[in-house]
Every structure is written in C-alpha cells, then in structure tokens.
Structure 1
Amino acid sequence: MTNEIYYSGGNTRQMSNTGANLASESVSLLVKVFPWFREDDYYSISTPAFHEVLGERVITCCLPLLATDALAGPGYALGNRKFCLDTQTSFLRLYRLFDGEKPGWLPPSARVLFIGENRAEYGRPYNDKADTFHDIYFAGDEAEIEAAFGLPERRGKYETYYGATVKNGQPVRVKQYLYDEQGGFSDWDVIWMMHAKKAAKAAPSN
C-alpha cells in the first residue's frame, strides 16, 4: 500500500510500508549499495527519486521516533535517513516544529508546520550538498499555492500538503504531497498539534 506520493516537477516519489512490493524493490537497491543497511530499522521506505539539489537519486527510509530520539535527541516530530545512491552517501533528515518567521515568498493562506534539516552521521560518508538547503512543510489554499508557484492542479482526495526546498533563503523547488485516504502520513496538522502540545508542556513555567 502506498502511504504517500509527492510530485516535484517531473519527479515522483512514493512511500510505502516495509514489506510492500515497492519497498522491497528499494531494499534490493539499498542492500547492494549500503552493506550496513538493515530493513528492520525502518517502518516505511520510498521509491528512488531524483533530488534536484543533490543531483542524484535518493531513497528515504523513515525511522521510529525512539530511534530518532536516540540518534538526534528529543524534540523532533519525525526522523528519516536519506540514502544517496549515486554518491553512496547518507544523512539524517530531522523534522521539528517551525518556530521562525513565515517566509515572505509564501502566499497569504500558507501555514508553515515543520522544518526539515539535514545532519551528517559520524563515520558515514556524507554529501556536502546537503548542508546547502533545508525544507519547510506547509498547508494552505490549494489554488492559491498552485498559482503562487506555477504548480499543476494536483490534489489528494483526502488531503494535500506542500514542501519547499530552500536554498539561500529562496525556494528552489516545491513538492506536492498527495493523500487519497487517511493513514499514518496523512494528517500533518494533527501531528503538528500533538507535538506543539508536548513542547508547551515541556517548556519551563515562569
């Protein structure tokens, strides 16, 4: 079962549970390129997708939250490992609640939910291009966002969200995330609310 699909220009990526046919094809690729890869470390694996900034094919593998906490510390809503097939490198992508100023290039209805930042792992080869960008993830009026970024009309039957890859303060690509039914990946706003409440409880009181 496909949990998520995104479109970025002419590039498409699908995310599915480990054990699904799509995931199994990616696992076969990963085992050949990364001898240390363990399928059991992840709960979801993507198809390979060309990353326009990194300039190569990338497979995304989602880590359980306990593993993310162990690798990066608490405070993240999600963590995954990006496997760069052509350079045989990898890095962590860590997602936290967005707490900055809304970028001026976003349309009025856009509400930023998360920021995704890249981190090298000790002792593992790393693509330095990952230091040059981050991603922000947002919701908003679909028609307004499509018009603002010149995107085709693509919308999930259940929900649609967006991700912008930001380099030197400006978006260099905008991804459309489509969900045709409710599932573990589909309710970004609910995940945001859960972690916002958790962060509020953890904040020191005056």
Structure 2
Amino acid sequence: MKRNKALVVFSGGQDSTTCLYWAKAHFDEVWALSLRYGQKHATEVEVAEKIAQKAGVHFEAKDAPLIGSLGANSLTNSDIVMDETQPEESFPNTFVPGRNMFFLAIAAVYAREHGIFDLVTGVSQTDFSGYPDCRDAFIRSLNVTINLAMDEQFVIHTPLMWLDKSETWALADSFGVLDLVRNETLTCYNGIPGDGCGHCPACKLRREGLEKYLKSKK
C-alpha cells in the first residue's frame, strides 16, 4: 500500500537515484532535496535536478556550506589529495564528518514545513566505505532524535541499507532505470557523470558492483 508523500535526500548519484525510483513505487507524491555543502563535485546538484525533472518529482536545492567547512576532507578541500583506498586504522579522507546527520536534520525540517513525514536516504551499511553515519544504528538513533526534537513521527526509510552495490544495480533494473542510473547519474567524486573517472573510491565501488550484477545476468 502506498503512503502519501515522501522526501528523498537526493544527490543525483547511483544510490539516491535508485532510492528516488523506490520512493515513486511506494508513495503517491515524491519530493527531492539536494544540498550544496561545498562539495568539489557540485555539478551533482545540476545532475540531480535533471533526473528529478525526468522522474516527474518536485525538486529543490538548498545551500548548506557550513557542513563542508567544519572538518578537513578531500571532498570539500582541493588541497587534500583524495584517498583511493581505505586506510587501515582511520576513516578515508573522503569522509565529511556529520554529513548525513546534517542532511537528514535539514531534510526533516524542510519536510515538516511541507507536511511530509517520510524521509528516504540511500545510505548502506553493507557498502558503507568506512563512513560511520551510513550505519543502521546511527539512522535509527537519529530517527528517534529528530522525532523528539520536533515532537513529530518521522520515518527514515533506507531501502539500500542491507544491499551491496550489485544488489543496488539490480534494484534499479527492477524499476526499469538501469540505463538512466548508469549513464545519467553522478557518483564520481571528481565530478564526471556516468561511469566516472574510474579511480576514485566511489567509481571503483560502483564499477565493481555493476560488473558483478551484469555477470550474474548472463
């Protein structure tokens, strides 16, 4: 059964685009919110708007530069060379501290003003790349905190939480948008749409998942 309205935290990448179409399958009305937080690959917001228009959902982008300015990371600071592998004893420097916490808190306030209480995000504990704010325990905790903070009953949906990238590709294919996700989304940390640069962490994970999925279909 479809519920009424949902807001997708939307970057225009593989995961959030798959979630956008998941939301369209489960809700009568879908909104998409993108955030400009000082990311070097800021063209993702333009990509997100084009995909949202194609999907027929309401789109809005908001400026939140504070998120990227608080911590040292390679996604917002051009002087930091991006980690291409996972460090053994620390977070990758592509980790933007608190990003998903900020994203979902902002999304909840925005959603409340539009009578929306279902939030959708593309985080995954299975392929979380060492980012602690992609874990299920964090999302559950934040959901409770947001509800207490605003005395509302939000539900944060995480359709990809227990899926690896291969399974995420399969989900996109089940919605008939495999080619759209492959060719029109922007997952690459270097800002290259589609298959991307091929060597940043996001591109590697995306490509490995696609190859695994395509092989499973043969």
Same fold by TM (over 0.5)?
no
**TM-score, length-scaled by structure 1:** 0.34
The structure with the greater share of residues assigned to strand is 1
User: How does the TM-score come out when normalised to structure 2?
Assistant: 0.33
Query: Which structure shows the higher helix fraction?
Result: 2
Q: Which has the higher contact order (CA 8 A, sep 6+)?
A: 2
